[in-house]
């Protein structure tokens, strides 16, 4: 069993023959409560969730349902109020995760090349050893021509490609993506989704991606976790049967696509209504 992967990442192997320690990510009974002027606000309520090695998990939910909070806790940028999060490392050494943030996260003061190499620079790699990784990633996301450009010279879609390359550069065990394509126009979003599929085929990273787009979830995911609004918890986990490698067009024309879309939308509709109602009462 061999997969053509540039880096010795957690490959598909672990999904086929699970490691003894099981999942890549284990979220057990995690809650997060924020203090607010109107009293404690439960953002995430008792979520338990396993993500397999090499799995592509997509979390969908209404706006403000705590999706981002959950992802930030997994990234180590926020701490659960209760519960535990375990990230296992099948390859000894690296347990690191890398996050692709929502919106404009690419450093405006660094060139494309410097942005992508940033994590490696922090890790103490020399300029020459950074260059190799940086170049191959820029070509992976189709940005080689813009290595020396500054972000303000790029379109929003190109900046997001840079953000994805920057996260991949540190060869993370786990790739976290927080609505990475949310700010893009639909056509650019389709293109980037296809590219993400292609990149995932090549690297087989464990991915957790947050979105509010059901289309996006079905296009990308192995499983879709549907979240409730206020407080955020997991309502259902839907396996997505489409094969790999996947094409956007094939997925969308599959008869099961419509059925799954309806299923997820039925699950979400009440939550979206609830979120809107509550947002009216306590604007965020």
Partner 1 sequence: MTVRGQRTMEVALTLAAPVVLLMAWELISRSGRVNQIFWPPPSSLWDTAVSMVRDDDLIGDIQVSLTRIVGGFLLGAIPGILLGLAMGLSWPVRVFMMPIATAIYAIPKIALLPLVIIALGTGETAKWTIVAISIFFLVALNTMSGVLSLDPMYRDVARNLEATRLQVFLGVALPGSLPAIFTGLRLALGFSLIVIVGTEFLSPRQGIGALIWESYQILAIKKMYVGLIVTAILGWLLILALDLIERLVVPWNRPA
Binding site residues, partner 1, CB under 8 A: 72, 75-77, 96-99, 101, 103-105, 107-110, 118-119, 122-123, 150-153, 166, 170
In angstroms, give the least distance from the CB of 164 to partner 1: 13
Burial zone of 126 (CB within 10 Å; 0-12 exposed, 13-18 middle, 19+ buried):
exposed
Measured between alpha carbons, how far is 168 from 256 in angstroms, rounded to an integer?
Answer: 32
Phi-psi group of 46: left, alpha or beta (phi > 0 → left; psi -120 to 50 → alpha; rest → beta):
left
Beta strand extents in the chain (DSSP E only): 25-34, 41-51, 56-60, 82-87, 97-100, 174-178, 206-211, 223-227, 234-239
In the bound state with partner 1, the residue whose beta carbon lies nearer, of 101 and 257, is 101
In angstroms, give the least distance from the CB of 98 to partner 1: 7
In angstroms, give the least distance from the CB of 78 to partner 1: 10
In the bound state with partner 1, the residue whose beta carbon lies nearer, of 56 and 118, is 118
- Tokens 């094409």 locate to 247
In angstroms, give the least distance from the CB of 79 to partner 1: 13
DSSP letter at 45 equals E
The string of DSSP codes covering 153-185 is GS-HHHHHHHHHHHHHHT--SEEEEESTTTTS-
In the bound state with partner 1, the residue whose beta carbon lies nearer, of 81 and 114, is 114
In the bound state with partner 1, the residue whose beta carbon lies nearer, of 155 and 256, is 155
Strand 41-51 and strand 223-227: the pairing is: unpaired
In the bound state with partner 1, the residue whose beta carbon lies nearer, of 13 and 114, is 114
In angstroms, give the least distance from the CB of 101 to partner 1: 6
């Amino acid at each position: 069993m061999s997969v053509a992967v540039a880096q010795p990442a957690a490959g598909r192997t672990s999904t086929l023959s699970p490691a003894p320690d099981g999942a890549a990510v284990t979220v057990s009974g995690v809650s997060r409560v924020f203090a607010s002027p109107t009293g404690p606000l439960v953002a995430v309520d008792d979520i338990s969730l396993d993500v397999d090695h090499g799995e592509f998990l997509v979390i969908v939910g209404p706006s403000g349902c705590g999706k981002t909070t959950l992802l930030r806790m997994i990234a180590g940028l926020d701490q659960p109020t209760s519960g535990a999060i375990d990230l296992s490392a099948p390859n000894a050494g690296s347990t690191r995760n890398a996050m692709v943030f929502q919106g404009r996260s690419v450093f405006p003061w660094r060139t494309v090349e410097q942005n992508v190499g940033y994590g490696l620079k922090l890790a103490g790699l020399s300029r020459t050893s950074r260059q190799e990784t940086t170049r191959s990633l820029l070509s992976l996301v189709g940005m080689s021509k813009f290595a020396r450009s500054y972000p303000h010279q790029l379109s929003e879609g190109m900046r997001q490609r840079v953000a994805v390359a920057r996260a991949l550069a540190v060869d993370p065990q786990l790739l976290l993506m927080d609505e990475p394509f949310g700010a893009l126009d639909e056509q650019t979003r389709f293109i980037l989704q296809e590219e993400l599929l292609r990149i995932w085929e090549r690297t087989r990273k464990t991915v957790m991606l947050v979105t509010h787009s059901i289309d996006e979830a079905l296009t990308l995911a192995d499983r879709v976790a549907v979240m409730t609004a206020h407080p955020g918890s997991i309502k259902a986990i839907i396996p997505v049967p489409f094969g790999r490698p996947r094409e956007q067009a094939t997925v969308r024309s599959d008869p099961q696509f419509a059925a799954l879309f309806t299923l997820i939308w039925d699950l979400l509709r009440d939550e979206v209504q609830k979120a809107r109602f509550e947002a009216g009462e306590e604007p965020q």
